[in-house]
């Protein structure tokens, strides 16, 4: 097996206080059981993998203003491969195992001069890293089991002009709000994707409109009925046409009417993009990070299943990925949502039990999102996908979502 097959990529979004994604931290793991730590002696491979991936993506990898946070140790800091990374979009996160010698400080100064940014890994617990504070663009602070008084003290200690603090391992929305009130502005963790208070029974009318359209399409209603469904809601018509004409669709001509859209896209494609619309319609209570995560889920689930399914089922995989976060978005239990949708049984099985023909692909997508290396490797092996293929699909899904411009 080649070196490039021996690592897998996980990711976590880094978001601002408006829950907009400002970058992703990428995690590289060895392909062996129980190896949930970054590379040590092989960390150069990480740089090579990501730089190669980003190079291959080229214009398709539209990070825009978003950044790639990469864990680096002593070996990688001094690695010749580091310069292959796109410096202005790369944040080098110096892990606590690094021995901060004068040589390391000089190397960090040189990297800063080359327009790389520097992040420090929990200097409050690993105080030897504080010698690098004058060079730090970001300081990451682990918020697990930390009270707000301590978090506020860290804010006073580490925040300075030119250096931003990132509260990481933030898993609950209540903690996010407390930290936000204390003055933190950047966060990492899946607090925005955790279900909370899923008691509401009323779905926003705009969502209801999309639900009706989805049902019309899935029941093979007449095109005129579907078109009339859109005409009842100008906003939905506008949003669908905007998405159809976005670069993500790759259409050669502009779609100017719903009738035109139906003709060009066909039912499967329309069904799939109504799924997208479901995520972006309604009131704007859904956080941008959650919206983007759900769309990336849809694309990644589809790409992972591409070798195994025909076009219609690939569209269903997309639906499974996107809809897997609908309960969190709508603050409605999944069972209540599914009662209103006439979805095929395999989709329902995947959404409710992570089972059936689509379930394992959704589970693999979620494992990539959580950087759960053991689960990624187990599921990839079960689905006969090598880690390199999973990585490739993962990066393509992120790029595709960026291209949609949501």
Residues 153 and 58: their CA atoms lie apart, in Å, by 42
CB atoms within 10 A of CB 92: 24
What is the average pLDDT score of the chain? 82
Residue 204 pLDDT grade (very low, low, confident, very high; cuts 50, 70, 90): low
Lowest-pLDDT range, 37-41, 74-78, 174-178, 352-356? 37-41
**H helical segments located in 326-386:** 326-330, 334-340, 345-353, 359-369, 373-382
Residue 88 pLDDT > 50, yes or no?
A: yes
Give the residue-averaged pLDDT of 333-356. 89
pLDDT in the model for residue 36 = 46
pLDDT in the model for residue 250 = 64
Within 13 Å, how many C-alpha atoms sit on residue 85's CB side? 30
For 150-200, write each residue's pLDDT tens digit: 999 999 999 999 999 999 999 998 999 999 999 999 999 988 887 666 665
Report the share of the chain in percent with pLDDT over 70.
79
Give the residue-averaged pLDDT of 299-323. 90
pLDDT in the model for residue 405 = 65
Could you tell me which of 404, 405, 387, 397 has the C-alpha nearest to residue 24?
Answer: 397
For 41-71, write each residue's pLDDT tens digit: 455 566 666 666 565 555 445 556 688 898 8
For 373-397, write each residue's pLDDT tens digit: 888 989 999 999 988 889 889 988 8
Lowest-pLDDT range, 96-100, 129-133, 160-164, 277-281? 277-281
Residue 201 pLDDT > 90, yes or no?
A: no
pLDDT in the model for residue 301 = 96
**Cβ–Cβ < 8 Å for 295, 278:** no
Helix (H) or strand (E) holding 119: strand 117-121
pLDDT in the model for residue 52 = 61
All domains in the chain, ordered by first residue: 3-192 (3.20.20.450), 205-404 (1.10.3210.10)
Residues 235 and 232: their CA atoms lie apart, in Å, by 9
Distances (CA, A) of 34 to 39, 46, 237, 377: 13, 18, 49, 11
pLDDT in the model for residue 107 = 96
pLDDT in the model for residue 30 = 58
Residue 333 pLDDT > 60, yes or no?
A: yes
First vs last C-alpha separation in the chain = 38
pTM greater than 0.85 (yes/no): no
For 243-291, write each residue's pLDDT tens digit: 667 655 666 666 666 777 777 777 887 888 788 777 776 655 678 888 8
């Amino acid at each position: 097996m080649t070196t490039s097959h021996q690592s897998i990529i996980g990711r976590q979004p880094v978001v601002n206080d408006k829950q907009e994604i400002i970058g992703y931290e990428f995690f590289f793991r060895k392909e062996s059981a129980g190896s949930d730590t970054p590379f040590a002696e092989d960390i150069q491979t990480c740089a090579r993998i990501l730089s190669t991936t980003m190079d291959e993506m080229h214009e398709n990898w539209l990070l825009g203003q978003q950044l790639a946070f990469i864990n680096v140790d002593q070996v990688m800091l001094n690695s010749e491969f580091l310069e292959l990374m796109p410096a202005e979009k790369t944040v080098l996160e110096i892990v606590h195992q690094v021995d901060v010698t004068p040589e390391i400080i000089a190397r960090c100064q040189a990297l800063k001069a080359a327009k790389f940014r520097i992040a420090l890994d929990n200097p409050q617990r690993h105080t030897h890293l504080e010698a690098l504070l004058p060079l730090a663009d970001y300081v990451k602070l682990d918020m697990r089991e930390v009270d707000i008084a301590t978090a506020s003290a860290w804010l006073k200690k580490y925040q300075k002009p030119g250096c931003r603090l990132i509260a990481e391992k933030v898993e609950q929305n209540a903690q996010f709000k407390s930290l936000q009130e204390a003055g933190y502005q950047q966060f990492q963790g899946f607090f925005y994707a955790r279900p909370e208070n899923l008691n509401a029974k009323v779905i926003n009318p705009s969502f209801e409109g999309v639900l009706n359209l989805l049902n019309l399409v899935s029941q093979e209603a007449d095109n005129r009925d579907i078109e009339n469904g859109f005409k009842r809601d100008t906003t939905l018509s506008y949003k669908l046409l905007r998405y159809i004409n976005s670069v993500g669709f790759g259409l050669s001509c502009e779609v100017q009417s719903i009738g035109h859209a139906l003709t060009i896209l066909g039912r499967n494609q329309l069904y799939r993009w109504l799924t997208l619309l479901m995520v972006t319609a309604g009131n704007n209570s859904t956080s941008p990070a959650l919206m983007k995560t759900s769309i990336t889920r849809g694309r990644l689930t589809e790409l992972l299943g591409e070798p195994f399914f025909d076009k219609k089922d690939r569209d269903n995989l997309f639906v499974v990925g996107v809809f897997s976060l609908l309960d969190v978005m709508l603050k409605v239990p999944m069972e209540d949502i599914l009662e209103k949708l006439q979805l095929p049984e395999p989709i329902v099985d995947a959404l409710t039990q992570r089972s059936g023909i689509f379930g394992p692909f959704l589970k693999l997508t979620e494992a990539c999102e959580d950087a759960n290396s053991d689960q990624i490797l187990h599921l990839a092996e079960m689905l006969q996908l090598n880690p390199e293929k999973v990585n490739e699909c993962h990066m393509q899904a992120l790029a595709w979502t960026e291209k949609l411009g949501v």
